[in-house]
Amino acid sequence: MIERITGKLLDKSTNSICIDVNGICYEIETTANTINSLPDINEKLTLFTHLLIREDAHILFGFNDHSTRNTFRLLIKTAGIGARTALSVLSTLSVDELLNSIVMQDPSILTKVPGIGQRTAERLLLELKNKIKSEPGMSSLQTPPQHHSDLINALVSLGYSYKETMKIINFVPENLTISESIKYALKLLSSG
């Protein structure tokens, strides 16, 4: 297994890059989000990788951080999701958006991914929810109480990450209306 690669960026296209490591050029497939955050050509970079070995090819996938790579690995372990679909999911959604859709069981987020319809999204969410409970580092993600679900969805739609939202959600009193809860949560988020 190749854990990570550090080298000089030689070339980038819409879905892959080439990295020179001591005279050997590796072609690495990656997400649009990773490509958009890369340094300039001939600059040094490090990517966390996953090597997929098939009968007809060895394919190297690269990501900016551990969490994206681990999410990629989680996706490709799911029935019906291959490496290309997993890249498409991670190109369309951030890891936080994906985890939020899994925890909230909200298929409308997953249907933003090209090639994933309503029924497929519902099936994948069910499978992924069971998988994240057994994955190291993801077992802390749990379904929030029902009274917080609307608040979480509202804060995520305002641009806050699922992780940020979950950090403050238990500090919001349960007896508030949804609009009062949103105001209270926004104060907590802005105070840091």
List the domain boundaries for the chain: 4-63, 67-140, 146-190
Collapsed DSSP state (helix, strand, coil) of residue 114: coil
Q: Is the pLDDT of residue 19 over 80?
A: yes
Predicted local confidence at residue 168, as pLDDT? 84
Task: Say what the pLDDT of residue 62 is.
Answer: 96
Asked whether 31 and 68 are in contact (CB, 8 A), the reply is yes
Q: How many CB atoms lie within 10 A of CB 72?
A: 25
Looking at the predicted structure, is the pLDDT value of residue 139 above 50? no
pTM above 0.85, yes or no: no
Q: 101 falls in which pLDDT band (50, 70, 90)? A: confident
Mean pLDDT (whole number) for 49-59: 94
Fold of 67-140: DNA polymerase; domain 1 (1.10.150)
CATH number of the domain at 4-63, out of 3.40.50.300, 3.40.50.2000, 2.40.50.140, 3.20.20.450?
2.40.50.140
The yes-or-no answer to whether 4-63 and 67-140 have a common fold is no
**Nearest residue to 109 (alpha-carbon basis) of 163, 156, 164, 165:** 156
Find residue 20's DSSP bridge partners.
Answer: 8, 25
Could you give the percent of the chain with pLDDT greater than 90?
46
Q: What is the pLDDT of residue 60?
A: 96
pLDDT of residue 146: 57
Average pLDDT over residues 116-139: 78
Q: What are phi and psi of 23, to 5 degrees?
A: 90, -5
d(CA 95, CA 40): 24
Average of per-residue pLDDT across 168-177: 82
- DSSP annotation of 144 reads P
> What percent of the chain clears pLDDT 70, i.e. is strictly above it?
92
Cα separation, 113 vs 101, in Å, equals 12
Ramachandran sector of residue 137 (left: φ over 0; alpha: ψ -120 to 50; beta: rest): left
